[in-house]
Structure 1
């Protein structure tokens, strides 16, 4: 209504003085005929603004009609016509805005319906898991520099930013909420492109789903009219040319979607691009054509290039998730991105996850207490995928009346328990064996060919025809191309593909499997992208006698023991490489040995190592557990270089368990404060400790801490044992 009075004022201001006098004269003479009862003496001395005020006061809702009629009576028909057009246009705009608002509300309701529930392969038939019940806010921190982190820290069992419990709690205090990712930076600048990176299984996709749900519920990002979720895994399956507008139309699931009107205001749009790393084998930076028109048909590569490089909808906002290993490649496509790292759960978040997972409060407490007592498993539980797998295994054991298994010490044992339980739950032993072999051969082919999406023909080729097994371990995606559609499949999580691929080589020997295994080991050592690291770690874990026995007993599978000889030979060759293995590859190898939990295997392997250098490599508690395990079971006494490894109290507490088997230990340039002195003194005083040299250059020790070490050094040397402590 207020807008109409402004339109009347604009019309009167467009009149000349004589025209305005004529308008007022006609208003005083004919106004009463049109329900306007303005006193003549008030009209006579009024200017344009006061005339509008009089019309508002005495004509109310009829003010517009009165004005138009009086303009016509005053022979000012052009002005009356223009005023009518303005009113009609405004009314149309109101209707359009209402339609847009109604459609936006409908879209948001559709998104709530789609994103409020998550799929849990372990849930009972017909049961749904609410995202808000299962979702735990992860730790998200600003990433101040682009860097490639270890892709598979999740399976290694640790994250340098989360390893120290105190640091994890501190990070929780500065963690950024999902509603703050597009806030102004320290310079007051708003980023239009945000990257959320992290290793596999850390919760990137779930975080995007939560953002979508919270926006649709009206809780966050009200500044965006629309948010669209684009899965790179699904997008790369589209082979025919399409347009961005058509992609969004299929995303909306409503053929009447006013896509053109939505795209007309790109500054109000946010695209959630999930899994850039899925495109790393198909997106060509140099040769791909750049899309510039959202309605133009083009290849998926061209469309994504256009979105990322801002040649299409350049004012829109992007939130992109990627594995850490693909971050460097992604950087080439983006202009001034703001980067964040998702680090998984805080200690409190882990506990809340267990509490939410189990309906029985006592079971939740028992499961979490068990995990806290297992350093290796606990160090892996910052990752949601591990938390879910651990809880699922425990749930199976609770339901069957079993006690929690003490052998659950490595990522491999965790997945063996999980997969075995799920297979036996759905089929008999003989059928389970067949399904296990089929899943393993499919996974191995995928790892060998760098493929994570499988066509229906491949599923049939590997004899995966049981619907319940497909539903348990594989996601089925329907890919629409024009009037045709086709089904594609992917493992429920990449970690399962890695596990099953490793299992392929352990099950009874197959033609060419040994040759493929040797090539896999060679490729893993030569490449730095981490794509095969977890598969190799699972391979070593499957050498464990208890694990093999468990598979044979519960799934009636035959196992190929020749693999152990191949892996031992590979370790021996790796240990004697010249030049020696780089720090990261050496650490990976130590994790492989730890994963076996096979003392004799580790003893034989460690024979080839005398000097171990991991300097300048941030070490987690899990890393230190693996290192200590290998040193403890070595026949040799080792020289250990751990300078600048970001070691703190927690890591040192673990390392002291292996100090007896070291002759020389360098801990220079670490975060070892006086609280660590007590640990060092206790380790050095062990009767079987033969350490001869301890270096602590550039450690933030106080003079009191240094004095304690010097006094201990003196007492040990007086006892006849050689020891030099350099501070």
Structure 2
């Protein structure tokens, strides 16, 4: 890992164990070792949004295995879907495993025969797989020597057609599609981010003095429960940037960080800042629409004059059959999402409207298809997945509309911004908040938070008969978003929540605005009873669990 100041830090020092939520909605503080030990040969799915730390978790597993060689793991194969999707030729399982590590085909073949139960296959980044109906309909392939495209081999591993005795870990941003492809009942965990204690541990390790600034800003402290935000803020501390002023939304944090990058790392580049940002945005959009996170050197050089000098892009050597090829990727996938949104607002008025209209239509269509999705996999699931993966772009677009904070960034670099996009987004939010008052309602609240316009939030929410957020426990950042949105309203008719006791403490002062309240909690300890009573005072309390 390389920081902006070119310092190297040990992954052991950097790694912070996140909080996980299991399939039943219960919060678990479970270590990676226990996760892999307890569930044996069950398939473990780790689901988390961009920046939640999925790939860092995978790197930590690899480091633990290489350093300590756990007794229950003989060998670990890290199969990175983003890299394997760059392979055009067909290969068999043994060739695919050899491609992903330094072992020879003979060595791998011998391992598969001797101790498959002590092998761990990690399929990292399931969302990057190009899925088709044919993959789901394929007959069982249990021959490790049969050649097929990499995505077919990976799905054969997922469905336990190949080497069913092995341990299997899958990381993904979306859940439903991978569930439909799996054979047998998987063990599901969602990455909830860092607890407040872990955020403190992270900063105390590297920036003990600066942590007081973070702790004093509850908005920033809450945002740092997202691992990538924690990293961004620490990097800004490292270069001496002011990280406390005007950082209210996720978008404002990213804008401030990109502004810091431009100031400290892009002064010597031949490409102007507006051209660089548009080029990065164009590259990001292409990847988002084509499900691509790795870009070859030729593609990047066509639009960016000095890609190796861009602090937003990372380059590395990717293995090919007889040579190595330089590939580029955004430092985190969330930056690809951010730069896609930035690209849209920097286009001319007509093109911006067209791009945003197409984006919103894609997400709407995915939402509609998800409501009538079959139990079996179909190509509709691919559209639903793509819809889910594009949602963060909408969030960043909402944030880039914020008049009070963002324009200074554009004005500083003499960039014109579309003025119609805010109207487009508000009309869309107003329409779909009425249609989806339970499913997708949490996403709509995040859109409203990124817009950060109190009068519009009040107008949207006070029209709703119901706000249903009871499908799964809310994360700390979700509760902070809800808290702000509730503060903007005089009253809410009916609110359904699934919360932890800590998050109830955060929300309790604002719940008085709800006429009718439904609460779901997994654990109600003695110290929580008072909170529940206070939250329920003066209103109908319908449900406790």
User: Could you say which residue in structure 1 is the equivalent of 2:18?
Assistant: 138
Candidates 469, 494, 499, aligned match of 2:338: 499
Distance 2:93 2:154 in 1: 9
Cα deviations by residue, 1:181-214 (Å, 9 ceiling, x for unpaired): 34356xxxx4253333333322222122112211
Distance 1:225 1:648, change over 3 A: closer
- Unaligned 5+ residue runs, structure 2? 368-384
1:458: Cα distance to partner? 3.6
Tell me the C-alpha RMSD between the 2 structures: 3.3
User: Could you say which residue in structure 1 is the equivalent of 2:402?
Assistant: 544
Cα deviations by residue, 1:545-603 (Å, 9 ceiling, x for unpaired): 2332331244332222222222233334335x5xx323233332232222122345546
Distance 2:122 2:502 in 1: 40
Distance 1:284 1:123, change over 3 A: farther
1:303: Cα distance to partner? 1.8
**Superposition map of 1:504-515 within 5 A:** 504-509=343-348, 512-515=351-354
Match of 1:504, SS state, is helix
Scaled by the length of structure 1, what TM-score is found?
A: 0.64
Distance 1:420 1:622 in 2: 24
Distance 1:627 1:345, change over 3 A: closer
Distance 1:483 1:183, change over 3 A: closer
Say whether residues 1:381 and 2:224 are aligned partners.
yes
Indicate the structure whose relative CO is greater, using CA pairs within 8 Å and at least 6 residues apart: 2
Say whether residues 1:406 and 2:245 are aligned partners.
yes
User: Could you say which residue in structure 2 is the equivalent of 1:120?
Assistant: 2
Distance 1:283 1:350, change over 3 A: farther
Candidates 608, 625, 629, aligned match of 2:484: 629
User: Could you say which residue in structure 1 is the equivalent of 2:419?
Assistant: 561
Candidates 425, 447, 455, aligned match of 1:592: 447
Say whether residues 1:415 and 2:254 are aligned partners.
yes
* Bigger mean CA deviation after superposition, 536-545 or 269-278: 269-278
Candidates 222, 225, 229, aligned match of 2:74: 225
User: Could you say which residue in structure 2 is the equivalent of 1:215?
Assistant: 65
Candidates 322, 325, 329, aligned match of 1:483: 322
Distance 1:121 1:514, change over 3 A: farther
User: Could you say which residue in structure 2 is the equivalent of 1:444?
Assistant: 285
Scaled by the length of structure 2, what TM-score is found?
A: 0.83
1:457: Cα distance to partner? 4.6
Match of 2:121, SS state, is strand
User: Could you say which residue in structure 2 is the equivalent of 1:243?
Assistant: 92
Distance 2:308 2:41 in 1: 45
1:438: Cα distance to partner? 0.9
User: Could you say which residue in structure 2 is the equivalent of 1:129?
Assistant: 9
User: Could you say which residue in structure 2 is the equivalent of 1:696?
Assistant: 541
Match of 1:176, SS state, is coil
1:134: Cα distance to partner? 0.9
Cα deviations by residue, 1:5-41 (Å, 9 ceiling, x for unpaired): xxxxxxxxxxxxxxxxxxxxxxxxxxxxxxxxxxxxx
Distance 1:254 1:381, change over 3 A: same
Distance 1:669 1:443, change over 3 A: same
Distance 2:497 2:484 in 1: 21
Distance 1:459 1:288, change over 3 A: farther
Candidates 282, 287, 300, aligned match of 1:459: 300
Cα pair 2:96 2:150 within 8 Å, conserved:
no
Match of 1:448, SS state, is helix
Distance 2:304 2:444 in 1: 34
Structure of higher CA gyration radius:
1
User: Could you say which residue in structure 2 is the equivalent of 1:721?
Assistant: none
1:434: Cα distance to partner? 1.7
Cα pair 1:377 1:411 within 8 Å, conserved:
no
Cα pair 2:281 2:343 within 8 Å, conserved:
yes
Distance 1:676 1:263, change over 3 A: closer
1:231: Cα distance to partner? 0.9
1:328: Cα distance to partner? 4.6
Say whether residues 1:609 and 2:463 are aligned partners.
yes
Distance 1:490 1:551 in 2: 24
* Bigger mean CA deviation after superposition, 620-629 or 272-281: 620-629
1:280: Cα distance to partner? 5.2
1:439: Cα distance to partner? 0.9
Cα pair 2:214 2:244 within 8 Å, conserved:
no
Cα pair 1:138 1:346 within 8 Å, conserved:
yes
Distance 2:328 2:409 in 1: 26
**Superposition map of 1:48-127 within 5 A:** 119-124=1-6, 127=7
Distance 1:666 1:652, change over 3 A: farther
Cα pair 2:233 2:243 within 8 Å, conserved:
no
- Unaligned 5+ residue runs, structure 1? 1-118, 146-159, 162-170, 359-363, 685-692, 701-727
**Superposition map of 1:315-354 within 5 A:** 315-323=165-173, 325-354=174-203
1:515: Cα distance to partner? 0.9
User: Could you say which residue in structure 2 is the equivalent of 1:640?
Assistant: 493
1:317: Cα distance to partner? 2.6
Aligned length: 517
Cα pair 2:143 2:162 within 8 Å, conserved:
yes
Match of 2:539, SS state, is strand
Candidates 102, 123, 128, aligned match of 1:253: 102
1:624: Cα distance to partner? 4.5
**Superposition map of 1:242-321 within 5 A:** 242-253=91-102, 258-265=107-114, 266-279=116-129, 281=131, 284-288=134-138, 290-321=140-171
Cα pair 2:469 2:496 within 8 Å, conserved:
yes
